[in-house]
Amino acid sequence: MDIFRSHVLVCGGTGCTSSESPKIIESFNEELTKAGLEKEVKVVKTGCFGLCEAGPIVIVYPEGSFYSRVKPSDVPEIVNEHLLKGRLVSRLLYKADAQGIETSIENIDFYKKQKRIALKNCGVIDPEKIEEYIALDGYKALGLCLTEYKPQQVIDIIKESGLRGRGGGGFPTGLKWQFCGDEANEQKYVVCNADEGDPGAFMDRSVLEGDPHAVLEAMAIAGYAIGANMGYLYVRAEYPIAVKRMEIAIAQAHELGLLGKGLFGSGFDFNVEIRLGAGAFVCGEEMALIASIEGRRGEPRSKPPFPAQKGLFGKPTIINNVETFANIPQIILNGPAWFASMGTEKSKGTKVFALGGKINNTGLVEIPMGTTLREIIFDIGGGIPEGKKFKAAQTGGPSGGCIPASHLDTHIDYDSLTAIGSMMGSGGLIVMDEDNCMVDVARYFLDFTVDESCGQCSPCRIGTKRMLEILERIVSGQGEEGDIEKLERLAVNIKGSSLCGLGKTAPNPVLSTLKYFRDEYEAHIRDKKCPAGHCKALLSYMIDKKMCVGCGVCAKVCPTNAISGKIKEPFEIDQSKCIKCGVCMSKCKFGAIEKK
């Protein structure tokens, strides 16, 4: 087996792939051959490193040098300087702030406060090589379970660890397995829910892309624990890289006999098949997901019976989220006490979040439960761009709620987030700054749920539509007294009477923004003003006559010729023609145009 003195790791996650990382890999191979280094230096395509903001990312080991925003044209320099002569290419090294240059991945603030369990191998191994997974103790947990533990012992370990479902609900995983394990049935199923649908969330995609074997191994462990010999991975078709890597992983596992018949010399058989979803949000709901795998329309049904009793094809089934599964092998290997030592009293372990919105370090982070929102946003996330003020963070996507600045020091776990009117959700974390209008944020999420409602039950189908209509009225300046009360009444009724989780949580963004930003709603309705200056219908651009020098640039750039005036005299905006595009304001060098 060849040994290389240096490994060049190039991110092959979806984010970096779309910014040309495949070309970077190609270019590395070419340049290394040109320099005669192809036998000394190995190029490895890995999963997501997490710091997507700085992508495409290239890491060079053994130094651990962290190069960010690498372009294919930078590759010859890295090869000739770093790999041939051993001189770091400092202009490409990741810079944490204006002065500091970090040469090594371990020293970057973004990674320092993280604790990686589910993302342990992401960005470290080549996800398309089963050997690299095995080298880092892959499939050892499955081997241990099959050779040393009885199924009930496995369930007990998971129970003891305190692991709760990472898909959003937070149901204790061990208990779920117990319910299914207790059912007497010849045929049972394990389902992995990879139907990640929240806007802005990409945790599950990154795990599937970066560490596909961890999910397969965990599904097999779950199968052994509950007595199932078949697993289905339900993943959306718009994750092509994840699907491809899972297919490769399944084939490799079969080749080495880590899936299939008689694993580890035991009588246990296990197979996994992939089912592609068409991208309906409701199919992330477990009953709708089951219906979709069965080939029916993705619609939920009422519970009970729960999937553990009557799930896929009418058989006992457990459905766990990708991230939940990714934790399982580590819990088996390190023991339940190790896992339970991290986190808070009722929420153990870590949680992966996808940071998005108005934040410097857009990307993927994994933190111990109990970390505060402030630490995630300011220490790991690097704060808000352009020195703007933090306003709120949305967790749980369209099912969750917003968390205002006053709750920045909340310790993140399932219960404390629920207590302040949000929820853990699957891990999307969208940050909003002072320019975001909270009424419009609520409208945006409701627009999403109205689109994604399956239409089976009327509270969700009709109720959310009515709420959206009211919100659209408010943001366009047509809000009326009593609208807030109507929203509240509708919200409570929809929450109480919808059939599935989608409807039951759909009003949450409205309720939580009403709770913390009621004054913004009132300003829209009563004063016809948008305090954040976001809702176009409610603002007007004005020229300050004292500041205007009469250069005429604004009139030139105005697409509707709404600005007129004489050179060297103050100009004026005709409000009836203005479409509020804001170009004049961005072009004025004298700061004479303001938004009101």
Partner 1 sequence: MKSLKELEEIRNKALCQIDLRKKGEGIRIVVGMATCGIAAGARPVLSALVEEVSRRKLSNVTVSQTGCIGACRLEPIVEVYSPSSEKVTYVKVSPQMAGRIVAEHIVNGNPVTEFTIGYHEQQQQGR
Which residues are near partner 1 by CB under 8 A? Answer: 1-7, 9, 40, 61-64, 84-87, 106, 124-125, 131-132, 134-140, 143-144, 147, 256-258, 263-265
One-letter amino acid of 36: G
* Closer to partner 1 by Cβ: residue 46 or 395: 46
Strands 230-236 and 189-194: parallel
Q: How far is the CB of 138 from partner 1 (least distance, A)?
A: 8
Q: How far is the CB of 461 from partner 1 (least distance, A)?
A: 50
Closest by CA position to 522, among listed 562, 469, 485, 575: 485
Whole-angstrom Cα distance, residue 86 to residue 80?
9
* Closer to partner 1 by Cβ: residue 84 or 583: 84
Q: How far is the CB of 88 from partner 1 (least distance, A)?
A: 9
Closest by CA position to 173, among listed 183, 160, 184, 182: 160
The DSSP 8-state label assigned to residue 390 in this structure reads E
List the structure tokens of 455. Answer: 């239409």
Per 3-state DSSP, the chain is made up of helix, strand and coil in percentages (nearest 5) of 45, 15, 40
Q: How far is the CB of 45 from partner 1 (least distance, A)?
A: 14
Q: How far is the CB of 289 from partner 1 (least distance, A)?
A: 30
Give yes or no for a contact between 324 and 149, defined as CB atoms under 8 angstroms apart: no
Q: How far is the CB of 107 from partner 1 (least distance, A)?
A: 11
* Closer to partner 1 by Cβ: residue 266 or 586: 266
List the structure tokens of 55. Answer: 């992508």
Give yes or no for a contact between 500 and 299, defined as CB atoms under 8 angstroms apart: no
* Closer to partner 1 by Cβ: residue 112 or 577: 112
Q: What are phi and psi of 573, to 5 degrees?
A: -105, 130
Residue matched to tokens 């969750």: 400
Q: What is the dihedral of CA 361, 363, 369, 372, to 10 degrees?
A: 20
Q: How far is the CB of 5 from partner 1 (least distance, A)?
A: 4
Q: How far is the CB of 113 from partner 1 (least distance, A)?
A: 17
User: Which whole-number Å values give the CA distances from 578 to 328, 574, 582, 593, in the listed order?
Assistant: 58, 6, 9, 13
* Closer to partner 1 by Cβ: residue 264 or 444: 264
* Closer to partner 1 by Cβ: residue 143 or 200: 143
Give yes or no for a contact between 166 and 324, defined as CB atoms under 8 angstroms apart: yes
**Which DSSP string do the residues of 281-323 spell out, in sequence order?**
GGGGSHHHHHHHHTTS------SSSPTTTS-GGGS-EEEEEHH
Q: How far is the CB of 432 from partner 1 (least distance, A)?
A: 37
* Closer to partner 1 by Cβ: residue 134 or 581: 134
Closest by CA position to 378, among listed 355, 350, 395, 401: 355
Residue matched to tokens 């300046």: 477
Q: How far is the CB of 124 from partner 1 (least distance, A)?
A: 6
297 torsion bin: left (phi>0), alpha (psi -120 to 50), beta (else): beta
One-letter amino acid of 325: F
* Closer to partner 1 by Cβ: residue 41 or 450: 41
Q: How far is the CB of 142 from partner 1 (least distance, A)?
A: 9
* Closer to partner 1 by Cβ: residue 328 or 369: 328
Residue matched to tokens 């949680």: 351
* Closer to partner 1 by Cβ: residue 84 or 408: 84
List the structure tokens of 474. Answer: 């408010």
* Closer to partner 1 by Cβ: residue 264 or 338: 264
Whole-angstrom Cα distance, residue 277 to residue 300?
15
Taking the alpha carbons of 240, 243, 249, 252 in that order, is the dihedral positive or negative? negative
* Closer to partner 1 by Cβ: residue 3 or 98: 3
Q: How far is the CB of 89 from partner 1 (least distance, A)?
A: 12
